[in-house]
Amino acid sequence: MNVLQTAQVSKSFGGFKALEMIDMTVEQGEIHAVIGPNGAGKTTLFNLLSGLYPATLGQILFMGEDITRRKAHQIARLGMARTFQNICLFPGMTALENVAVGRHTYSDASPLRIFLRPPFFKARGERVILEKAAEMLGLVGLAEKKGQFASNLPYGDQRRLEIARALATEPRLLLLDEPAAGMNPNETEQVLELIQMIVARGITILLIEHDMKLVMGIADRITVLNFGQKIAEGSPALIQNDPKVIEAYLGSE
């Protein structure tokens, strides 16, 4: 089953074509990687998929539903979550509070309901949110740091915290933008294990990553972008031996 499908998706900024006619399919339960040189259009693609940018041309289908013109919060409610290349946490909030923010996607707390509901119901709703947030912190190995401010966490923990916040939305598809960026080998190995654990929970992964050892070791399929165009797609073995990919990105030994 297709979780995500793009058809001739394009994005222009003035006269600059950041993406041109991208066709891509992500299957349910797979780890699908998007690779390419800096400036190839990878993060722009993520921004289109998650609703941060509107596509100039083309169509995006998520779980069979057209989301091409949907807003980011609407797409999140449908079951797509993402992390960012540059960590986007709330530094003055605790780890638990950061994850709880993600869980509020499923809150019914409209302004009218906030005023009309008795305090008991408000407290119960918040308790459920915090319990789910704590569960996600445990999943990424940060349960003991739930009371620490995000700004005080080591870099690797901040990366995992951002993933926990995304998981709190209960996504069907999780977009990870360079989850291992800036990490040492031990931290990278922990991220790899975490990604495998997430997939085991039935969540499909689409990731951008420059660490080719990680990508080739974990991805089921890979899409390669260069100058805003798709130049290859296939299994890791196929991509490693594709002359166009070697020339544009991987290089030869």
Please answer whether residues 48 and 9 qualify as being in contact, where contact means their C-beta atoms are separated by less than 8 angstroms. Answer: yes
3-state secondary structure 126-151: HHHHHHHHHHHHHHCCCHHHCCCEHH
**Pairing state of beta strands 16-27 and 2-13?**
antiparallel
For residue 121, pLDDT beyond 50: no
For residue 113, pLDDT beyond 50: no
Please answer whether residues 94 and 79 qualify as being in contact, where contact means their C-beta atoms are separated by less than 8 angstroms. Answer: no
Task: Dig out the tokens for 26 from the structure.
Answer: 């992500």
Q: What's the CA gap between 161 and 20, in Å, rounded?
A: 33
Confidence of residue 143 (pLDDT cuts 50, 70, 90): very high
* Average pLDDT across the chain, whole number: 88
CATH of domain 1-79+171-253: 3.40.50.300
Q: What's the CA gap between 156 and 131, in Å, rounded?
A: 23
Please answer whether residues 155 and 89 qualify as being in contact, where contact means their C-beta atoms are separated by less than 8 angstroms. Answer: no
Confidence of residue 183 (pLDDT cuts 50, 70, 90): confident
DSSP 143: G
Top pLDDT among 121 and 162 is at 162
- Tell me which of 56-70, 110-124, 133-147, 222-236 is least confident: 110-124
Tell me: the pLDDT tens digits for 20-47? 999 999 999 999 999 999 999 999 999 9
Percent of the chain with pLDDT over 90: 69
Give the domain ranges of the chain: 1-79+171-253, 91-169
Confidence of residue 193 (pLDDT cuts 50, 70, 90): very high
Which is nearest to 27 in space by CA: 6, 5, 46, 2?
A: 2
What global pTM score does this model have?
0.88
CA 94 to chain centre: 21
